């Protein structure tokens, strides 16, 4: 590994780095590329987000004028047992699906990073499930997890094991959903695969010269070099899974016994079944705060295990 | 495409199932992904039997298709009321929000077509929304002051929406119509739509829960059909006797058991034993954990332990709705379930009264109404529509002659009892109402959804065999009591 430092950009007298023509062109391209998203966000999302913050301080059924109630909706959360249940379920689902998904998709990426014939086909096959729509996946997994005729219980029956009612018994429902979340591991697998292919081969060669075996190369080269990618997948995956809604709504609708009542579903029910828009908005904003807190913690912890190429490891 | 999938898809579509329903049915039939794909593709080919896109999307007035099981002129008595309200001078369009099943929506389009012929200056735009999405859609519309002129409203949310000022009071219009005859409406039908001394909606039906039964399953078991001599002990014994088989082919004696997650539960499952869920009509006291309620619920749970009703796992492999597919011997349904059962069942069936209990003979009674919304731009035209739609002639055309039943007007009942689409036992529906068996003492206060949402998950543990009935009912009391505290104010 080289210790050569990049040549610093000369700082002009006004203190701002001087941008050349090429850089300006790149900057324009950047703004052009993100413009569609920004326009879409401003047109369709920003107003609703700002409005929901205001609504969270009201009692509003959507049928009549909202009444200002101050922070009542937020203080109400403290005594709401279903709030804790839904938050707990979401964290359980988030930790389970992201943890398991990270391991499985990383291992898959390692396997699919081998130089063997037909690898493109294998990569395509493993990625395909990720492009199937959420509803179709949910229906497929209802069949796979069926207590009497499902694929999993049929497989267990070969070994004389009577499989549980995956989706109908409270203690098994959430593990079933976590298991099902592996279906979309192909998405993060592709990112890991891209990361693996950018690990410089000379690092492996140097490790081999130093006498490292396969596991040592994995642990001292692959994992550190992949740690920024792992961090990205952890953060994005956790944010997505804690907001999970569609598959839960289709497969269990929060049941049985609220065992799969995830936070997104609780917000939906509060808003569109109970028509308590103010309370639902407060729930949504609390979720945002929780996600920000968890993300901040992830970044703080990342200082101790994520290695950026070019950094000097302390 | 497999012939079987196409035939099944066509059959299901003919019976009025949407693509979504077909997907669910295919799933519960245990079809593989390939078959499911073919089934849905076949639905696409036969989609012309579904309500038109224009109607669904609220486009121009939709035409009925020729696929309806009802003849367009049948049931048209021609005795349409003469309104005191003047016809619009210019062409106007009114929109009407419905939530019919596909079979009955065809009848709706037939009514609208004939109405527009009688009123050439009024165009009726029918919007049909699936039941599960109806409230969300029109609550959003209310928030945006964009409700249709006329809106379907179910009893359970009528009071909340009336008090929120969504509708206009109809008393002034009714007072103008000399032959409207409010006394013609059954008393229970009017309960949910009155507030502050005014009438805010006109009910179209109010009917009891009835015992639908599959005659062929009874015949096969050599069992006599249900009649007025039946009590709940007999119902239980026969349900257990008729239960047989395993897996997807299993026959269940009864379709459902009481759940505190159901707002209609008490009249059929608790009142007959002298028990109650909430104190009606104020719903300010929870009585579900009283000894008589615990005893009653334990009595019903015996049917679950005997396997006589579908378990949650069974519900994943029994085609839904299971009664139409011949897997359920008996089920509790309102008379409004008749058209899809009539169109979809290939076996002989009939209805009887819900059996009497040891302490009372009761069944739920529920209904729905139509209202004119505060957003209506053509209130007079909307009234002309309502006045005919919910007149004796209108109710005869829509609910009586089609066998759907339980019209809110007493004068429409003879046409229902004589309808070729009504089950042979239709008189039981009428008798349940006239003999006071049907009761509107169901959970319908604005707190209702929160009560059932709190109770349902607790009861799931009983269904899963992880909690005793008594413990669950005590927990339900603890969860529900704070919710209904607001009804004590």
Q: Which of B460, B129, B171 is nearest to A255 (CA)?
A: B460
User: Are residues B355 and B467 located together in one domain of the fold?
Assistant: yes
Q: Which of B49, B65, B84 is the last residue of a domain?
A: B49
Cβ count near A42 (within 10 Å): 10
CA torsion B94-B100-B103-B104 (nearest 10°) is -60
Q: Would B429 be classed as within a structural domain?
A: no
Compute mean pLDDT per 10 residues along chain B, 489 residues long, and list them.
44 44 43 43 36 39 71 93 96 97 93 97 97 92 94 92 94 95 92 94 96 96 97 98 88 95 96 97 95 98 95 70 85 89 88 97 95 97 98 97 93 95 93 91 87 94 94 97 92
What per-residue confidence (pLDDT) applies to B188? 87
User: Are residues B320 and B393 located together in one domain of the fold?
Assistant: no
- Which residues on B lie below 8 Å from A64 (Cβ)? 164-165
What per-residue confidence (pLDDT) applies to B405? 87
User: Are residues B305 and B227 located together in one domain of the fold?
Assistant: yes
Inter-chain residue contact B464 with A170, CB threshold 8 Å: yes
Compute mean pLDDT per 10 residues along chain A, 314 residues long, and list them.
51 65 91 96 95 96 91 95 96 95 95 89 91 87 88 94 92 95 91 93 94 94 95 93 88 92 95 92 96 95 86 52
- Which residues on A lie below 8 Å from B316 (Cβ)? 142, 146-147, 167-168
Inter-chain residue contact A63 with B161, CB threshold 8 Å: yes
Between CA B433 and CA B451 the distance in angstroms is 27
User: Are residues B381 and B360 located together in one domain of the fold?
Assistant: no
Residue-wise pLDDT tens digits, B269-292: 999 999 999 999 899 999 999 999
Percent of chain B with pLDDT over 90: 70
Instruction: Count how many domains chain B has.
Output: 3
- Which residues on B lie below 8 Å from A62 (Cβ)? 139-140, 142-143
User: Are residues B117 and B183 located together in one domain of the fold?
Assistant: yes
Contact predicate A163/A150, CB 8 Å = yes
> Which DSSP string corresponds to A43-95?
IIIIHHHHHHHHHTTEE--SSS--EE-TTHHHHHHHH-HHHHHHHHHHHHHHH
Q: Which residue of A has its CA nearest to B132?
A: A273
Q: Where are the domains of chain A?
A: 80-305
User: Are residues B355 and B401 located together in one domain of the fold?
Assistant: no
Give how far the C-alpha of residue B201 lies from the chain's centroid of Cα atoms, to the nearest Å.
Answer: 18
Burial of A248 (0-12, 13-18, 19+ CB in 10 A): buried
Choosing among B139, B154, B320, which should be mutated to test the A contact, i.e. which has the most A CBs within 10 A?
B139
Closest approach of chain B CAs to the CA of A44, in angstroms? 16
What per-residue confidence (pLDDT) applies to B473? 98
Beta strands in chain A (DSSP E): 58-59, 67-68
User: Are residues B341 and B476 located together in one domain of the fold?
Assistant: yes
Burial of B32 (0-12, 13-18, 19+ CB in 10 A): exposed
Between CA A173 and CA A87 the distance in angstroms is 16
How big is the A-B interface in CB pairs under 8 Å?
80
Query: What's the residue count for chain B?
Result: 489
Is residue B23 less than 8 Å (CB to CB) from chain A?
Answer: yes
Between CA B352 and CA B208 the distance in angstroms is 11
User: If residue B194 lies in a helix (H) or strand (E), which one and from where to where?
Assistant: strand B194-195
pTM: 0.80
Q: What is the CATH number of the domain that holds B390?
A: 3.40.190.10
Sign of CA dihedral B158, B164, B166, B171: positive
User: Which residues, 6 or more positions from A15, have their beta carbon under 8 angstroms from its beta carbon?
Assistant: none
Burial of A197 (0-12, 13-18, 19+ CB in 10 A): exposed
Class of domain A80-305: mainly alpha
User: If residue B126 lies in a helix (H) or strand (E), which one and from where to where?
Assistant: strand B122-128
Q: Which of B398, B423, B448 is the last residue of a domain?
A: B423
Q: Would B484 be classed as within a structural domain?
A: yes
Q: Which residue of B has its CA nearest to A266?
A: B453
> Tell me, what's the ipTM?
0.75
Give how far the C-alpha of residue B148 lies from the chain's centroid of Cα atoms, to the nearest Å.
Answer: 22
User: Are residues B60 and B115 located together in one domain of the fold?
Assistant: yes
Choosing among A64, A85, A163, which should be mutated to test the B contact, i.e. which has the most B CBs within 10 A?
A64
**Residue span of the structural domain in which B275 resides:** 208-364+439-488
């Amino acid at each position: 590994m080289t210790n050569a430092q990049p040549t610093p950009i000369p700082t002009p007298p006004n203190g701002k780095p001087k941008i050349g023509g090429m850089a300006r062109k790149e900057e324009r391209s950047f703004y052009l590329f993100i413009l569609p998203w920004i326009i879409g966000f401003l047109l369709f999302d920003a107003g609703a987000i700002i409005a929901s913050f205001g609504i969270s301080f009201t009692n509003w059924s959507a049928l009549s004028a909202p009444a200002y109630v101050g922070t009542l909706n937020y203080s109400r959360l403290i005594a709401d047992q279903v709030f804790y249940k839904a938050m707990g379920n979401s964290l359980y689902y988030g930790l389970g699906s992201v943890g398991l998904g990270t391991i499985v998709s990383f291992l898959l990426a390692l396997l699919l990073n081998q130089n063997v014939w037909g690898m493109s086909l294998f990569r395509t096959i493993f990625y395909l499930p990720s492009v199937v729509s959420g509803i179709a996946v949910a229906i497929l997994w209802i069949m796979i997890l069926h207590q009497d005729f499902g694929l999993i219980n049929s497989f267990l029956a070969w070994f004389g094991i009577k499989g549980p009612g995956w989706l109908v018994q409270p203690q098994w429902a959430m593990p079933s959903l976590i298991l099902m979340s592996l279906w979309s591991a192909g998405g993060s697998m592709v990112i890991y695969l891209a990361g693996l292919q950018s690990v410089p081969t000379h690092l492996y060669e140097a490790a081999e010269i130093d006498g490292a075996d396969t596991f040592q190369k994995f642990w001292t080269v692959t994992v550190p070099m992949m740690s920024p990618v792992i961090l990205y997948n952890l953060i994005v995956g956790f944010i997505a899974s804690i907001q999970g809604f569609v598959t839960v709504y289709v497969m269990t609708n929060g049941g049985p016994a609220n065992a799969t009542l995830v936070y997104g579903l609780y917000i939906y029910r509060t808003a569109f079944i109970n028509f308590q828009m103010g309370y639902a908005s407060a729930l949504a904003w609390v979720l945002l705060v929780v996600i920000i807190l968890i993300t901040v913690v992830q970044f703080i912890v990342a200082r101790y295990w994520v290695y950026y190429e070019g950094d000097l490891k302390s | 495409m497999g012939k079987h999938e196409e035939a099944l898809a066509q059959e299901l579509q003919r019976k009025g199932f949407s693509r979504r329903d077909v997907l669910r049915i295919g799933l519960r039939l245990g079809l593989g992904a390939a078959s499911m794909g073919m089934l849905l593709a076949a639905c696409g080919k036969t989609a012309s039997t579904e309500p038109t896109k224009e109607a669904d999307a609220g486009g121009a007035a939709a035409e009925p298709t020729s696929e309806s099981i009802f003849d367009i002129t049948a049931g048209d008595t021609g005795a349409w009321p003469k309104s005191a309200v003047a016809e619009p001078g210019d062409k106007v369009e009114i929109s009407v929000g419905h939530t019919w099943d596909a079979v009955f929506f065809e009848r709706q389009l037939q009514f609208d077509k004939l109405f527009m012929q009688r009123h050439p200056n009024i165009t009726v735009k029918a919007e049909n929304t699936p039941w599960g999405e109806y409230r969300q859609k029109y609550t959003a519309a209310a928030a945006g002051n964009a409700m249709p002129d006329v809106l379907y409203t179910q009893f359970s949310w009528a009071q909340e929406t009336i008090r929120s000022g969504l509708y206009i009071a109809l008393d002034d219009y009714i007072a103008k119509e000399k032959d409207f005859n409010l006394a013609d409406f059954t008393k229970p039908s009017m309960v949910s739509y009155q507030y502050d001394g005014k009438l805010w909606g006109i009910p179209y039906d109010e009917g009891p829960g009835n015992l639908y039964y599959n005659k062929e399953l009874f015949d096969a078991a050599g069992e006599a059909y249900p009649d007025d001599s039946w009590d709940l002990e007999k119902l239980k014994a026969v349900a257990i006797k008729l239960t047989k088989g395993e897996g997807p082919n299993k026959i269940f004696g009864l379709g459902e058991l009481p759940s505190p997650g159901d707002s209609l539960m008490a009249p059929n499952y608790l009142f007959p034993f002298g028990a109650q869920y909430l104190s009606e009509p104020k719903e300010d006291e929870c009585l579900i954990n009283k000894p008589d309620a615990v005893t009653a619920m334990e009595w019903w749970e015996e049917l679950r332990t005997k396997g006589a009703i579908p378990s949650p796992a069974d519900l994943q492999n029994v085609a839904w709705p299971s009664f139409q597919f011949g897997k359920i011997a008996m089920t509790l349904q309102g008379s409004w379930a008749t058209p899809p059962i009539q169109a979809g069942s290939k076996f002989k069936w009939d209805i009887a009264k819900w059996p009497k209990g040891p302490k009372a003979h009761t069944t739920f009674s529920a209904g729905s109404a139509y209202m004119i919304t505060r957003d209506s731009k053509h209130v007079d035209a909307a009234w002309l529509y309502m006045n005919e739609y919910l007149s004796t002639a209108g109710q005869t055309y829509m609910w009586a002659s089609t066998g759907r039943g339980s019209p809110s007007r007493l004068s429409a009942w003879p046409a229902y009892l004589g309808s070729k689409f009504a089950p042979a036992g239709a008189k039981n529906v009428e008798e349940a109402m006239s003999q006071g068996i049907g009761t509107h003492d169901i959970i319908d206060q604005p707190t209702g959804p929160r009560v059932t949402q709190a109770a349902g998950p607790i009861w799931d543990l009983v269904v899963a065999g992880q909690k005793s009935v008594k413990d669950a009912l005590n927990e339900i009391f603890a969860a529900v009591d704070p919710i209904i505290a607001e009804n004590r104010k």
